[in-house]
Amino acid sequence: MDTLKPADVTVVKSMKNPPGAIKMVLEAICIMRGIKSERK
């Protein structure tokens, strides 16, 4: 997580439907950081 940059998050946000593995990793990061997920 220390190497995750804001530009990396921007790339994922620009994806309409990111691959399942990316979704799973991002959900895990949100859980570790205590961030509630926003489902659209």
Digit-coded pLDDT (tens) for 1-40:
678 888 988 998 899 999 999 989 888 888 988 988 776 6
pTM metric for this prediction? 0.61
Contact (CB, 8 A) for 32 and 1: yes
User: Hey, how many other C-beta atoms are within 10 angstroms of the C-beta on 16?
Assistant: 4
How far apart (Å, rounded) are the C-alpha atoms in residues 31 and 40?
18
Q: Distances in Å between the alpha carbon of 18 and those of 3, 37, 40?
A: 20, 15, 13
Query: Which token pair is 13?
Result: 């946000």
Can you give the pLDDT at residue 39?
A: 67
The total number of structural domains that make up the chain: 1
Domain that holds residue 12: 1-40
How far apart (Å, rounded) are the C-alpha atoms in residues 11 and 20?
15
